Structure 1
């Protein structure tokens, strides 16, 4: 059973609803909108009844500057408050944006963490046919968990021996990914239906991204999840091609710089580099 989101106080409710509508109109992903709402609700709860027109920059700094927060969490808070109060200024609910001067967050870039090949093989041995497909779509095609959840027979284009999978990623950006023949045949068997239909409504809808994440995460080695399969796909694709732009296109990244954070360089590859640099007497 899905929990209903916590309601906002009456003084915030209307403006927040309209701001969330604005985010949807701007094409933001549902997961992004949900995250923004949760972060704003936490801030409003912290304010203990203060209405939006009375929020100060100090309020924003204190909430963002709490101890124990990760750099990513601080970035999310900054983005949420800046966006909401920008909307308030645009709609004459405030004359200023109290979050506009919040500091940019300095943080170390996350390191790639591909799931080990042995962990993937062991997981595949104990999974059902359905769940093995989930793992393959993540490890071989680099799909996000939300993209895995939404795969349908309608998304396969072209003949089986040269088929492509149409994927709609973040920001509704579409990309076409070449499909192994056996995957193309299997996905097409669903016709116009979902590859991973929900049992709650007899297949009218697909499994949620969260459900896919739980299924895959419980099968992989501890602390590895669906995103580690995406890192695995990026790493193997780069080692096979040494073409970062191609890997970026496969993953649906808007920037090659993002892709660089997904590619793990195995020690043996670095050893080759160091060996090539040896000074011969």
Structure 2
């Protein structure tokens, strides 16, 4: 089979059989298409050997790609050729001896509690004026921080996923795993205001119908009434937290990282935080203990006379 055709078949396998997230499937497929572009034209799967793969890695390194990118690409290649062996597309796996560059440990950037309180307070003041987008943005950021959910999980929420009485939200995480996450009264108040005064206006923009006739699916809507996208949420986080943080500290998961760190700072149990975040491995959650420890060391260096 030709390499390009095999890559498309593998992407369908990741989506339909492995049920990986769309973002993961896109990333792996993009990596493998980059591999195909580095091969001779019209290469067949049986033509690819370890030297081709190492040449591809060298090109990526020469471009200055991050170690995390190199590690992901190596994982994509290994998974692809292991699948190809199972499917009988190749007799032997050329990626078995492909090494994975060690990933450097980088701590997630987090906002301080005062910074979060300031930004959410300013958003709440703007939302009180009744602008539907301000009401939505306030509810979005309050829920991201309160529930520490992923941006993709937030964008996939439907109104029916909210349980106002219990103050919980049902989210579908990686691997289509569901979990129920609590949130606090400030987030509930922001959601109520958005659902009553913001969402009906946004929904009416799409439907072109009276505000009484509303679609009953997506919780968060964009400016034109469609389901809110992760890119729009990222833009909102960057816009609101950019002035309060350094540029490289702002990202789509800023509030998720901040919430996890603040919970551990406040004495939350690590396994409870793991369950709330939806991490499959406790080791993934432990990165936030390193953030807390680093913040403590920084405070010590600044404040202790014998630091």
Deviation at 1:43, TM superposition (A): 1.0
Tell me which residue corresponds to 2:49.
Answer: 56
Distance 1:118 1:56 in 2: 55
Q: Which of residues 163, 167, 173 in structure 2 aligns to 1:169? A: 173
Q: 1:137-156 to 2 correspondence within 5 Å? A: 137-156=143-162
Tell me which residue corresponds to 2:272.
Answer: 246
Deviates more, 1:188-197 or 1:58-67: 188-197
Distance 1:165 1:134 in 2: 13
Rate the CA distance shift 1:163–1:59 in 2: closer, same or farther, 3 A.
Answer: same
- From the two aligned structures, give the one with the greater helix fraction: 2
Distance 1:216 1:58 in 2: 43
Distance 1:64 1:137 in 2: 40
Answer yes or no: is 1:110 the counterpart of 2:106: yes
Tell me which residue corresponds to 1:278.
Answer: none
**TM-score (normalised: structure 2):** 0.76
Tell me which residue corresponds to 1:192.
Answer: 216
Q: Which of residues 213, 222, 234 in structure 2 aligns to 1:213? A: 234
Structure 1: state its 5+ residue gaps: 1-9, 275-281
The Cα offsets for residues 146-166 of structure 1, whole Å up to 9 and x where unpaired, read as 112122211023x52x22111
Rate the CA distance shift 1:74–1:166 in 2: closer, same or farther, 3 A.
Answer: same
Distance 2:44 2:295 in 1: 58
Q: Is the 8 A contact 1:168 1:175 kept in 2?
A: yes
SS at match of 1:213: helix
Distance 1:72 1:164 in 2: 34
After superposition, the CA RMSD in angstroms is 2.6
Rate the CA distance shift 1:247–1:196 in 2: closer, same or farther, 3 A.
Answer: same
Q: Which of residues 62, 69, 73 in structure 1 aligns to 2:65? A: 69
SS at match of 1:113: coil
Distance 1:30 1:267 in 2: 34
Q: Which of residues 236, 240, 255 in structure 2 aligns to 1:229? A: 255
Aligned length: 260
